[in-house]
Amino acid sequence: MSKIMLAPMEGVVDYLMRDMLTQVGGFDRCVTEFVRVVDQKLPKRTFYRLCPELQQGGKTAAGVPVRVQLLGQHPEWLAENAMTAVELGSPGIDLNFGCPAKTVNKSKGGAVLLKETDTLYRIVRAVREAVPADIPVSAKIRLGFEDKSLAIDNGLAIADAGADELVVHARTKTEGYKPPAYWDYIARIRQHIDIPVIANGEIWSEADSKRCQQVSECTDLMIGRGALALPNLARCIRYGEAPMPWAEVADLLIRYSGYEIFGDKGRYYPNRIKQWCGYLRRQYPQAEILFNDIRRLTDAQAIVDVLARQSSQNHVA
Ligand SMILES: Cc1cc2nc3c(=O)[nH]c(=O)nc-3n(C[C@H](O)[C@H](O)[C@H](O)COP(=O)(O)O)c2cc1C
């Protein structure tokens, strides 16, 4: 049976979203938003903030393991902080070599390292040597920075350095998030290395997942935006389940209002629900209507009222 991972998405897939989506189900693993490592050992609270699941055995409430993701350029500091994450209970370490953000690239880390095959090797090796052998270390890459010429070399370096798994987001940094994803390139990397390769990018439906598996020659998949657009996408892929009806999505959106982030002055829910609507629009025309109805609302209860009204109309219909 193929494995399905929930992709890390900074500012989107946080603890609460991981909790919700893994309760919907179909996922084998999650990855946190990145912990940025520069030149120091980070305090424990940084890890707990980005990965509250560490306080519950490194798993979501639904029991899905969550791997801490690190981003940075210094092998020693990454290794040092990987050890902290593991000491706090992270069931694995994921290394981010794909983040396109400018500020990240200026201080190095993320996709810019795809131009430095040797640095990738040194980072993976340092982290692999630092953490216990039974703790998996994965790396997440894009196909390159500006072009794909180093895609295979980078994959080889990461595998040679001892990574246990490689996730490939099938685009360069320059290609951003623009379709298509070049799944055939994942197959080329896979043919050269013998660690499991996980295919990622542009999987929005069960049909996409099948085509991605065929073209990438990978059985294991990672899905990000697709799971936000269609909350039961992992179950559609795994069990051939039908897409979740809008009424159930509306119930999920209401349930999400029960979550609170301490100290955020009530802005968390209104902001996040609008953001989530942006993804849901791709699958559900109702999300567009909802977005327009709540666009100006800044109060969680007012948004829940709109949702409840819509939801009761849906149930009657
Ligand atoms: C808003 C946003 C935030 C992201 N944050 C991260 C991140 O923190 N770490 C990472 O490795 N990838 C990050 N990604 C990339 C995703 O994990 C994934 O590789 C990409 O979205 C392609 O997969 P998808 O088509 O299934 O969404 C982010 C993507 C988006 C859209």
pLDDT at 140 over 80: yes
pTM confidence score = 0.96
Report residue 109's pLDDT band, with 50, 70 and 90 as the boundaries.
Answer: confident
> Does ligand 1 have an atom closer than 6 angstroms to the CB of 202?
yes
**Torsion angle of the four alpha carbons 186, 187, 188, 191, in this order, in degrees rounded to the nearest 10:** 120
Output b/e per residue, 30-49; b: 16+ Cβ within 10 A.
bbbbbbbbeeeebeeebbee
Q: What is the pLDDT of residues 208-264, one digit of tens each?
A: 999 999 999 999 999 999 999 999 999 999 999 999 999 999 999 998 887 766 666
113-122, 268-277, 280-289: the lowest-pLDDT one? 268-277
Domains contained in the chain, CATH given: 4-239 (3.20.20.70), 246-316 (1.20.225.30)
Provide mean pLDDT across the span 150-155.
98
Point out the catalytic residue in the list 30, 99, 218, 236. Answer: 99
**Residue 272 Cα to ligand 1 middle (Å):** 16
Catalytic annotation present for 51: no
Report residue 43's pLDDT band, with 50, 70 and 90 as the boundaries.
Answer: very high
> Does ligand 1 have an atom closer than 6 angstroms to the CB of 226?
yes
> Does ligand 1 have an atom closer than 6 angstroms to the CB of 203?
yes
Atom of ligand 1 nearest to the CA of 167: 19
Over pLDDT 70: what percentage of the chain?
95
Q: Which residues pair with 142 in a beta bridge?
A: 169
Strand-pair category, 197-200 with 165-172:
parallel
